Amino acid sequence: MHEAQTNLIQLQQELKTLEIQQLLVEYYDQKSAYLTITAGVGEIDAEDWASILFRMYYRWANSHNYKIYLVAESCKDLAGIKSATLEITGLYAYGCLKSEQGTHVKIVRISPQNGNGKRLTCFANIEVSPILDQSFELKIPDKDLEITKCWHSGNVNRPETWVQVFHIPTGITVLCDQKRNQLQNQEQALAILKSKLWAFMQAQGVQNMSDLQSGRIKSLFKKPIREYILHPYTRVKDLRTQVETTAATEVLNGDIDFLIKAYLQQQYQTLARANMHTE
C-alpha cells in the first residue's frame, strides 16, 4: 500500500514536470542554470529572508533530482546570508527558474491593540541565467574587467581562494569562492558573468554587449514579482499572474511548480498572440 502511494506521488510529480516542459519552447530553456540570491540592503531580517529563499530553491531543485552546487556564499556574522549563488544542473533548469527572476517580498503585519498597525517588509533579489556551452562565443574585452583576488592566505590549512570579477560597463559583479584554487574560481566567475550578460542582452533585445543599458539591468531583476505574507495569516501571491495560495509553508519548502507553470503559461499565451498578429 505504501509503495503504491509512493509510486502515485512520483507519477503525479512527473506529470507536473512534463506539463511545464511542454511550455518551454526556447532553445536555452533546456539549459542548466545559475541562480543568485541577494538580500536587500539595510533591511531588518533581509539576510534571514534570503536564507529562507535559498532553502526553498535548494529543496525545489532536490525534489526534481537536479544536481546542486554552491558557487559562492557571503554570510552574515550570526545568521542568514547576504548573497549566494547556486549552480543547478539538469535538463530545463533554466527554463523553469527564469520565472523566478525579480524581487521576492516578505511581509509581516503587526496589529497592536491600539490599532496602529505596521507592515514590515524585507526583500531579496533573484537573478537567473543559463549555463552556456563552453563553445559559446561572447568575448569580453579585458579593459572592461576588473578582477580582484584574495592575496592573504588566511588559514594555513584552508587558504582563501576567492575571486571577484567586476564588469565595468554594466556594474555586474560576480564572486566565486568554492573552488579549490583561484584559477578555477576565476574561470567560473567569468562563465557566470558571460551567462548574466547573455541573459540581459536577451531581455533588452540587443545583439552586442556595448548596447546594454546598465540602468535597465538594475531595474530588470529588482521588479517585485511575488509577495509572501507570513503574519498574522499566510498567503503567497504572484504579482504577474495573480495566482495565490494560503499554503505559504509548502511554498517555502520548495513546492513552487504551480507558480512556475502559471507564469510560463502566461508567457506562452502572450507569445502565441504576438505570433498571430504577425502572420
- The helix or strand, by DSSP H or E, that contains position 86, with its residue range, turns out to be strand 81-89
Q: Which residue has the cell 516542459?
A: 21
Q: Which residue has the cell 558573468?
A: 193
- Closest to 230 (Cα-Cα) out of 49, 96, 62, 82: 49
Number of neighbouring beta carbons within 10 Å of residue 160: 13
CATH assignment at residue 145:
3.30.70.1660
CA dihedral defined by 97, 62, 256, 98, rounded to 10 degrees? Answer: 0
Burial of 26 (0-12, 13-18, 19+ CB in 10 A): middle
Low-confidence ranges of the chain (pLDDT < 50): 114, 156-158
- Closest to 245 (Cα-Cα) out of 9, 124, 123, 253: 253
Question: Which pLDDT value is given to residue 168?
Answer: 92
State the Cα–Cα distance between residues 166 and 122, nearest whole angstrom. 27
Domain ranges, residue 26: 2-278
Question: Which pLDDT value is given to residue 203?
Answer: 83
Question: Which pLDDT value is given to residue 145?
Answer: 95
Q: Are strands 33-39 and 118-130 parallel, antiparallel or unpaired?
A: antiparallel
Cell output for 144? 572592461
State the Cα–Cα distance between residues 225 and 43, nearest whole angstrom. 18
- Closest to 35 (Cα-Cα) out of 80, 134, 107, 102: 102
Tell me the pTM: 0.86
Question: Which pLDDT value is given to residue 78?
Answer: 62
CA dihedral defined by 51, 52, 54, 58, rounded to 10 degrees? Answer: 140
- Whether residue 232 has a cis bond before it, omega within 30° of 0: yes
Distance of CA 260 to the CA centre of its chain: 13
> 190 in helix, strand or coil?
helix
257-278 vs 2-21: helix axis angle to the nearest 10?
30
Cell output for 168? 565595468
Number of independent structural domains in the chain:
1
